[in-house]
Structure 1
């Protein structure tokens, strides 16, 4: 009887695909193993075995697999169930979840390989220059990839040349499957075994009296190797004070032996962690309450004010689980946050801390994946949202820190999951405790505590009973009228900054816009340069003298004159972090400022460097965007200045006021985190705004009550669920027609939900694609799975319509 496997392929296709296997392969294979399978005419993909069966598919011809990649499953059975939940809840395919979850190194790649045809004799006289270069390269190398041919010919268009050579049968093509993973290796130096004998070693050193440097190097290696320590070439060079040439000479003489060994990229050497600090009474009480809620089987929200010592509570809970031999997942919204937290966790747990996020390279991420699935030792895994997709074996505690942050939501591409919500589901599947922590909880999480779905634990005082910072709202409309502004700094802010610097304290300045200015405008005709690919103005970046689009990355030099009227009178409107940095240097020329935004933190270690500059006092002031607000702990910051609160308040989004409260409260919490009370100055044209008043008094309860009333009135979460459908196409009318067709099709089904749109968003065109939104609102009386099934059904019909072939349709569940 034939045997088959159903395979998940990393493509946006809803179904699984069956492949034929032998009886022996069927016995060997398990769900979660990787197999290389043919797909389409010539491609080979890595698939994950979903299940093994004996039922042949009816509507297509079954192919055989190419090869079995794994000896043991790469994905656990529980993980496959979790993937299925994500695909079902967020209306996407299992293949898309697989592509998001697996490190690229585990997805074998299929690339076209060019080989010299062994059956054809090629006469050089018939070759043109480009063809000759390719054939010459194939004489010295067994095979070439297409991208290597591009490099050899120094041109992108090589396919026509290769096509002609194929027609002449001079070359042949082969699809080669290869893995991108390479273990990291280090070369270690050992003393030849024959010199382990003391007598032999003494004779060797006596013979080397005329080569003192070599003699010293041998002695240094002997000393370093006591205690069976592995010695690298660099360590030996540094200790002996010699060059690599001396070591090479000793290797050539067979006195030293050099061995290459694979090492772990992500684990430190095993050490004993430090003792934990004693908790303060309020923290101990909160910890006891959390344990009670966990015992009752509840997801728990820890609502603790900024600097209340939430991390110390997390550390206690982590320690308990590690001692029981369990895994712990610690999710953070921002990579910037991991830097400080990792050093704190490693202080306690040393080598048991693993880190997983996109700034780590592919090989580092693969090694974390392997450590988690092998489960040889309990680890705490610290990571951004993608860490939720790791193959946990026995995770028993999931911590979601700063749970209110929008960074936990994946907006593009699929799966558009929310890591906080997924963590709650994963915890339920794995019977793990889930703890959500925040100084400013999201409305949805706090609302769940009022319904009794989540447990609530509160920490109302700062660690060490330090007072909350004093918040002052500055009316900059009045300051401008009385000419008390210098650039974008009010006299009050400058005065407080001078006071802070005089007391050897540091200052944080917050402006939630990067670049120098959002608009460069002609004073004569009012023209502002636009992005050719998107419907937005280009942002002026001072340091590179560029205009840049923050949506698609397009950039151009700043024009010397207006392209519309040739006037040279060009001026900037609005301001970003670069302009604040420049104005600070004019106000305080002797002091140093650093900037933390997307432009300055692109490198792997760039965030660490900025944090180190602040911690060591090298920098007096830090200016930045919302990166600054996310739980960073700067001990010497006494003053926070918010340059303009109005842009956040006026953003066209139903969560704008809630998010403004979150951001301002969080950035305020960076001030006065030690003994001295901090100060916060918030500049605004509308100082009487209700949200600003609530921020100034730390009144989360009032904000929660007001926003909840608005949400109820206008049918927004947490009272209604939202699903947003986005249609994208190069043609304006086609995009609109696609949206309208979908709305009409949805409205033909008796579902009773509210379907709004189609509507163009504020930025209509991004990367030359017009986009239109359709919003589906579901009340508590509707079953979400039924509505999602309707949407899937309509989407399948939509994709079969010839006129909409080129239209992309994305489904975003809980699109906020």
Structure 2
């Protein structure tokens, strides 16, 4: 009997491919193991076993697998069930989910290797110069990668050269797979057994009396070992003895020191003994009891706690309960900056049971955390992570906490799968029969609506921790200030005097501006020309610290212009302002104070967030200027004043969520102020102080905002009353996008009649030289979501069959918020 497996490949294929295996392999293989398989003419992929069976494929002959890569499954049955749900719900393929779900090091790619054809004698005279260089390199090395040849010839496109060499039978191509994960080994040393006794050590020190530096290393090693029972790292020994690695190596060569290696985790907890978690106040105790009560009848509970009400402490108590039952906990956060602050707090309570998982970690670190979770290790009872951590292989998941659940960072936009981590977390919890807590000071309209409709449990905390008052919010009318000439750059006189007062009292200040760079537009005073990005329909943003103009969509940069590109005059002016300009102005206004900036430009490195957050916590920064990174639940004890530089650019954004998002952003950033005994203050600068949202922020009126926005959503058919699917068409040819989107929209209207919007160009309709056009499908509650998606898929299949449309890229985004 023939045996076969269905393999999930990390590429967007609608169906799984079937490969043949031997009887012995079929007995060894299990669903969830990795195998390397040939695909297409030359490619080799790492696939995942999805099914083992005995039915041969009817359409094609099944190829044999190359090799089995695992001894046991690395993906669990529950994970596969979640992958299938994501693929179905978010209209993508399981292969795309696999690529997102597994750390890169697990998905091995084939790397084309080139080696010499040893069976043929080659005459050098037959080879051209560039061919000879490759041939010569292969005399010294057994094989080369394409990239190596590119470096040798110093040109990008080396395929023609390789093709000629293949035709002349000089070289052979071979596909080879590399295991990308390398465990980290740390070098340790100890004294050789001979010198372990008192007399042996005495003798050794006398022998080394002439080699002072070597003697010093041995003495340091002895003193470190006496102080601590832990093994001694080579790095630590070199630092403490003030020597070099050469001296340590000399001692190892003399057999005085013994060297050994230990495999270690890349991310470790080096803390003291655990603290006990804090005592809860009365409001927190009530909230905790209410959450436990709602869990008896509901699987999901929304915790609406105002900023600084101590939601984290409530979560800690829930986590303690889960750990005592032997369950795992997933703590989801929207922003990596938040994990930096929270990991310390949680490690103080739970020690090394906390593992962190997010994209700033290297491939190796992610593999380690993945393996800890897979093996149910005590080092990963609590996973603290950004959205991708929902893909980890949990065994005994008991609770998922989605903190700051309203955040749009939980939604993945590109590439597929375009999932929403909050919604996926609820499904994951159901698969494990676990509970979910959604926490936020400004819940999303959907979650609050679900709680009001009794789909979710609902718990509120209305008082700040230690009964600290909510900050006083003051609106500053910029129109009036500019008329009276009371502005210093972008700072009103009120803001300047409040900052001075806060700094004099020894407090810190946060200034919020939702745009990075120095200024978004550079304009010529003479002819009005503004430099545009050649690849996108946007003006270039001026970044002063690098003196360059940069596109925030495709990354295109040019040096800052000295004169206008159109008319040649030198008078260039900047319009609008970003965090860099606020930082520069603050330095002029408050020269004796330390000013910091936190935006995408300053947090690029792995520890970028950590450096800035630590500097603010240790009061090395007096004024911190930043974008919305600052708004996400960070806890700074000494910040008294928050200034929102301009509330209007958020409110006027062309999006049905603009008002809800502005309210959330302003209220969250206000929540960073006055988190200890002294009452904080928030100044909101705006050209329209009578705008409903700004007024609602100033009175902290979440319910008023919710009811008003809900009414608008109902009137205009938006979530939570209607579901949305956005279809985007992309191509570099404007006409093709026009025709393709029109054809698709007409087909949709034939099926659904109403509730199809578009095709319409978005505000920025060309990005990276590709034109974009959108069609929005609104799905009423009575309409079957499954049938709607099936109809869209059917139309998409017909669309792809049209020859002219094949090159147009179609992106389907379910719940595009």
Could you tell me how far apart the structure 2 residues matched to 1:314 and 1:696 are?
Answer: 29
Partners of 1:601 and 1:607 within 8 A in 2:
yes
8 A contact 1:271–1:351 mirrored in 2: no
Partner of 1:405: 407
Partner of 1:692: 694
Equivalent positions of 1:99-498 (< 5 A) are: 99-226=99-226, 228-268=229-269, 272-377=273-378, 379-498=381-500
After TM superposition, the score normalised by the length of structure 1 is 0.98
Deviations 1:383-438 (A, max 9, x none): 11111111111111100000000000001110000000001111111111100000
1:710 aligns with 2:712: yes
> Per-residue deviation at 1:752?
5.6
CA distance in 2, matches of 1:510, 1:490: 14
Alignment-derived partner of residue 83 in structure 2? 83
Q: Is the 1:109–1:179 contact (alpha carbons within 8 Å) kept by the matching residues of 2?
A: no
The aligned residue for residue 622 of structure 1 is: 624
Match of 1:572 among 574, 577, 581: 574
SS where residue 434 of structure 1 aligns? Answer: strand
Which residue does 1:785 correspond to in 2?
786
Post-superposition offset of 1:189: 0.8
Task: Give the SS at the match of 2:776.
Answer: strand
The reply on whether 1:6 has 2:6 as its aligned counterpart is yes
Partner SS for 1:543: helix
Please give the alpha-carbon distance, in whole angstroms, between the structure 1 residues aligned to 2:152 and 2:326: 54
Contact 2:298 2:456 (8 Å CA) reproduced: no
Change (3 A) 1:272 1:51: farther
Q: CA separation in 1, counterparts of 2:240 and 2:113? A: 47
Q: How does 1:42-53 map to 2 (within 5 A)?
A: 42-53=42-53
Residue 791 of structure 2 aligns to a residue whose secondary structure is helix
Q: Which runs of 5+ in 2 are unaligned?
A: none
State the partner residue of 2:96: 96
Equivalent residue number for residue 813 of structure 2:
812
Q: 1:545 aligns with which of 535, 547, 562?
A: 547
Tell me the residue number matched to 2:18.
18
* Alpha-carbon offset, residue 797 of structure 1: 1.7
CA distance in 2, matches of 1:181, 1:753: 52
1:62 shift after superposition: 1.1
Rounded to whole Å, the distance in 2 between the matches of 1:70 and 1:268 is 29
What displacement does 1:18 show? 0.7
Q: Is the CA contact 1:753–1:778 (under 8 Å) kept in the aligned structure 2?
A: no
TM-score by length of 2: 0.98
Tell me which residue corresponds to 2:682: 680
Kept in 2, the 8 Å contact 1:728–1:772? The answer is yes
Cα displacement (A) at 1:125: 3.5
Pick from 605, 608, 612 the counterpart of residue 606 of structure 1. 608
Looking at structure 1, the residues matched to 447 and 280 of structure 2 have their Cα atoms a distance apart, in angstroms, of 26
Distance, in Å, in 1 between the alignment partners of 2:523 and 2:241 is 63
Deviations 1:75-123 (A, max 9, x none): 1000000000000000000000000111110001111101011112223
What is the Cα-based RMSD across aligned positions, in Å?
1.4
1:718 and 1:150 map into 2 onto residues whose CA distance is 54
Q: Which moved more, 1:345-354 or 1:704-713?
A: 345-354
2:473–2:698 contact (8 Å) kept in structure 1? yes
Question: After superposition, what is the alpha-carbon deviation per residue over 1:728-757, rounded to whole angstroms, capped at 9, x for unaligned?
Answer: 0011111111111112222333x4652221
Q: How far does residue 698 in structure 1 lie from its aligned partner after superposition?
A: 0.4
SS at match of 2:232: coil
* Per-residue deviation, residues 326-356 of structure 1 (Å, max 9, x unmatched): 2110110011111111111111112111111
Q: CA deviation at 1:161?
A: 1.5
Deviation digits for residues 596-622 of structure 1 (CA, Å, limit 9, x no counterpart): 111111111111111111111111100
Aligned equivalents of 1:634, 1:271: Cα separation in 2: 23
The answer to whether the aligner puts 1:758 opposite 2:762 as a matched pair is: no
The structural deviation recorded for 1:197 is: 4.2
Which residue does 2:562 correspond to in 1? 560
- The CA deviation at 1:805 is 1.3
Structure 1 residues 117-159: Cα deviation after superposition (integer angstroms, max 9, x where no partner)? 1112223343343333222221222110000111122221211
User: Offset at 1:223?
Assistant: 3.7
How far the C-alpha of 1:236 sits from its partner, in A, is: 1.3
Moved more, 141-150 or 190-199: 190-199
Shift of 1:537: 0.8
Distance in 2 of aligned mates of 1:323 and 1:266:
25
The secondary structure found in structure 1 opposite 2:274 is: coil
2: distance between equivalents of 1:486 and 1:344? 40
**1:13, distance to aligned residue in structure 2 (A):** 1.3
